[in-house]
């Protein structure tokens, strides 16, 4: 009742309410406002766990909307299509924020999404454009950098898709894909773009940790590569 009617917890002490309850439910134990608040928080934790489980099963892509109050409160709502193709609308958070700046709002949304285990956001719609000038908005240089590494990321994607196939043999192409990625990383290390070359050097260290020592490689995968009529000993040196 207190939740549905949005009543203050202190109303539990009101004489009219206690008299009403004593008439309709004489055996009912009337709690203090502190106990009432504690029970409601437990109910919140329980309902949040149920909703989190529902989201993990049904929320594959989520669209978010925010509603900022002038009193420095923000409401974050998730909109998504569940597995039964029904539109769902769930309030994820209603919290106080220190300011209406875009940076503060972004951090609040990020923290909320992390607590709910949501990482596939399709869109974010806000209600006040003047407050959403978040610092760190991608510049033209940032987009050019993304354009430069996109072919390499596409190589990763294609390799993952090929070796993850289930309707054909993948053992004979596993090392081919792994060595191909290593060759591409070496090429990126020689890039004239300092940022890309530095990134490639870090990737090279990680790559060599797992693939640089031949004694640590799975010999069966190497044999499968050698027996392939196209590759044979191409990558053995």
Q: Encode pLDDT of 2-13 as tens digits.
A: 777 777 777 777
Question: Does residue 74 surpass a pLDDT of 60?
Answer: yes
- Two tokens, residue 119: 């990482």
Instruction: Name the residue ranges covered by the structural domains of the chain.
Output: 58-131, 140-226
Number of C-alpha atoms within 13 angstroms, CB side, residue 130?
0
Instruction: Report helix angle 140-163 to 194-211, nearest 10.
Output: 20
- Of residues 43 and 174, more confidence is placed in 43
Question: Does residue 235 surpass a pLDDT of 80?
Answer: no
- CA-based end-to-end distance of the chain: 75
Phi, then psi, of 121 in degrees rounded to 5: -95, 125
Q: Which of 122-131, 167-176, 185-194 has the highest mean pLDDT?
A: 185-194
Bridge partners of 80, per DSSP, are: 88
pLDDT digits (tens, 9 = 90+) for 84-129: 888 899 999 888 888 777 778 888 888 888 888 888 888 888 776 5
Number of C-alpha atoms within 13 angstroms, CB side, residue 162?
15
Average pLDDT value over all residues in the chain: 81
The pTM for the full model equals: 0.47
Give the residue among 106, 112, 111, 68 at the shortest CA–CA distance from 90.
112
Cα 115 from Cα 48, distance rounded (Å): 10
């Amino acid at each position: 009742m207190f939740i549905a009617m949005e009543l203050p917890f202190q109303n539990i002490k009101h004489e009219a309410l206690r008299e009403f309850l004593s008439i309709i439910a004489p055996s009912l134990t009337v709690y203090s406002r502190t106990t009432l608040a504690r029970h409601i928080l437990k109910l919140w934790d329980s309902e949040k766990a149920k909703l989190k489980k529902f989201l993990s099963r049904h929320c594959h892509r989520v669209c978010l909307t925010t509603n900022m109050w002038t009193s420095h409160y923000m409401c974050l709502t998730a909109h998504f299509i569940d597995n039964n193709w029904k539109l769902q609308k769930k309030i994820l958070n209603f919290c106080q924020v220190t300011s209406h700046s875009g940076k503060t709002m972004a951090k609040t949304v990020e923290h909320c999404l992390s607590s709910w285990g949501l990482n596939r956001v399709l869109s974010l719609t806000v209600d006040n454009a003047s407050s959403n000038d978040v610092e760190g908005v991608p510049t033209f240089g940032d987009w050019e950098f993304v354009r430069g590494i996109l072919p390499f990321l596409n190589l990763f994607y294609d390799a993952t898709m090929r070796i993850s196939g289930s309707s054909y043999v993948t053992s004979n192409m596993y090392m081919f894909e792994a060595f191909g990625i290593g060759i591409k990383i070496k090429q990126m290390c020689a890039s004239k773009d300092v940022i890309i070359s530095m990134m490639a050097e870090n990737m090279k260290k990680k790559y060599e940790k797992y693939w640089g020592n031949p004694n640590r490689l799975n010999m069966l995968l190497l044999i499968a590569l050698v027996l392939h009529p196209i590759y044979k000993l191409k990558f053995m040196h």
